[in-house]
Amino acid sequence: MRVAIGADHAGFPLKQTVMDAVRSAGHEPIDLGTHSTEAVDYPDYAVKVGQAILDGQAERGIMLCGSAVGANIAANKMKGIYAGICHDTYSAHQGVEHDDMNLLCLGARIIGPEPAKEIVAAFLGARFVGNDPGEERHQRRVGKVRKLEEG
């Protein structure tokens, strides 16, 4: 799987760890910047990651900023992007399995390298179960979220 990865200046210190975790999980990271701790605006990078997913360049994305809140808000403004803040492994896999999350937001000032590696592995190892027999309720719920997106 191709995974788009973006970070603002606050997320940059954790970005290489995340890219290595993506590779360790057997996937291909796509580095969309930033490339230093020089101040940049998180919405610009959230849009790059989201657009990579929407354009089919990546199947999933990971966005890093200081708290993950700003990146999450920005990414969720994009139709077709379903971002979640996950600072634990349960939320990371559950967000994909039940909610069809396609973009993981991590707060680089909240978690360290070791939790980040485990969270990324949980996110990438999960798949949406809404089409599985007996799990249709998740498809119904995600459908309702998509209707909200339409207005």
In the residue annotation, 65 being an active-site residue is answered as yes
Q: 62 and 5 in contact (C-beta within 8 Å)?
A: yes
Catalytic residue selected from 9, 86, 93, 98: 98
In the residue annotation, 98 being an active-site residue is answered as yes
Catalytic residue selected from 9, 27, 35, 65: 65
Q: 46 and 74 in contact (C-beta within 8 Å)?
A: yes
The H or E element containing residue 8 is none
Instruction: Measure the CA–CA gap between 142 and 147, rounded to whole angstroms.
Output: 9
Active site residues: 65, 98
